[in-house]
Amino acid sequence: MRKIISLAIVALILVSCSDNLTDLNKNPKSAQVVEGQTLFSNALKNMTNTMNSTSVNLNVFKLYAQYWNETTYLDEANYDLTGRAIPDNFWGSVYRDVLKDLDESAKLIAADGALTADIKANQLAIIEVWTVYSYSQLVVIFGDIPYSEALDFSNTTPKYDDALTIYKDLLVRLNAATTSMKTGADSFADADILFGGDVSKWKKFANSLKLRMGLILADVDAALAKSTIEANYAGAITSNADNALFMYLDSPPNTNPLWVDLVQSGRQDYVGANTFIDALNAVSDPRRAAYFEEVTAGGYVGGVYGLQSPYNANSHVGDAMHQPDFPGNLFDAAEYHFILAEASARGFNVGGTAAGHYTAGITASMEFWGVAAADIATYLAQPSVDYATATGTYKQKIGYQKWFASYLKGLEAWTDWRRLDFPTLNVPPAANTPTPVRFTYPVREQNLNKAQYDAASTAVGGDVVTTKLFFDKF
78: CB partners within 8 A, 6+ apart: 306, 428, 430, 431, 432
Could you tell me how far CA 84 lies from the centroid of its own chain?
Answer: 20
The band of 30, judged by pLDDT with boundaries at 50, 70 and 90, is low
**Within-domain flag for 297:** no
Model confidence pLDDT, tens digit, residues 70-115: 999 999 999 999 999 999 999 999 999 999 999 999 999 999 999 9
Half-sphere exposure of 103 (CA within 13 A, CB side): 16
Beta pairing partners, 146: 160
**Within-domain flag for 227:** yes
**Predicted pLDDT at 474:** 86
**Within-domain flag for 275:** no
The band of 9, judged by pLDDT with boundaries at 50, 70 and 90, is very low
**Predicted pLDDT at 27:** 61
Tell me whether residue 184 is exposed, middle or buried, using C-beta atoms within 10 angstroms of its C-beta: 0 to 12, 13 to 18, 19 or more: exposed
* Residue 147 to residue 150: CA distance in whole angstroms: 5
Model confidence pLDDT, tens digit, residues 121-176: 999 999 999 999 999 999 999 999 999 999 999 999 999 999 999 999 999 999 99
- Reference 270, options 77, 88, 128; nearest CA is 77
**Within-domain flag for 302:** no
Cβ–Cβ < 8 Å for 328, 51: yes
**Within-domain flag for 132:** yes
Asked if the model's pLDDT at residue 16 lies above 90, the reply is no
The band of 298, judged by pLDDT with boundaries at 50, 70 and 90, is confident
**Predicted pLDDT at 297:** 74
**Within-domain flag for 447:** yes
**Predicted pLDDT at 12:** 43
Q: What is the mean pLDDT of residues 226-243?
A: 98
pTM of the full structure = 0.93
**Predicted pLDDT at 34:** 80
**Predicted pLDDT at 29:** 55
Q: What is the mean pLDDT of the chain?
A: 94
**Predicted pLDDT at 31:** 54
**Predicted pLDDT at 178:** 98
Q: What is the mean pLDDT of residues 331-341?
A: 98
Asked if the model's pLDDT at residue 17 lies above 60, the reply is no
**Within-domain flag for 331:** yes
**Within-domain flag for 28:** no
Q: Domain holding 187: CATH number?
A: 1.25.40.390
Q: In percent, how much of the chain has pLDDT > 70?
A: 93
- The count of other CB atoms within 10 Å of the CB of residue 185 is 15
CA–CA distance from 138 to each of 66, 167, 257, 411, 464 (Å)?
21, 10, 20, 11, 16
Q: Which amino acid is at 279?
A: A
Full domain range(s) for residue 401 = 38-255+325-460
Q: Tell me how many domains the chain contains.
A: 1
- The count of other CB atoms within 10 Å of the CB of residue 310 is 11
- Gap between the terminal Cα atoms of the chain: 93
Model confidence pLDDT, tens digit, residues 238-294: 999 999 999 999 999 999 999 999 999 999 999 999 999 999 999 999 999 999 999
- The count of other CB atoms within 10 Å of the CB of residue 355 is 17
Asked if the model's pLDDT at residue 14 lies above 90, the reply is no
Least reliable range by pLDDT among 11-15, 47-51, 117-121, 390-394: 11-15
The band of 32, judged by pLDDT with boundaries at 50, 70 and 90, is low
* Residue 277 to residue 470: CA distance in whole angstroms: 31
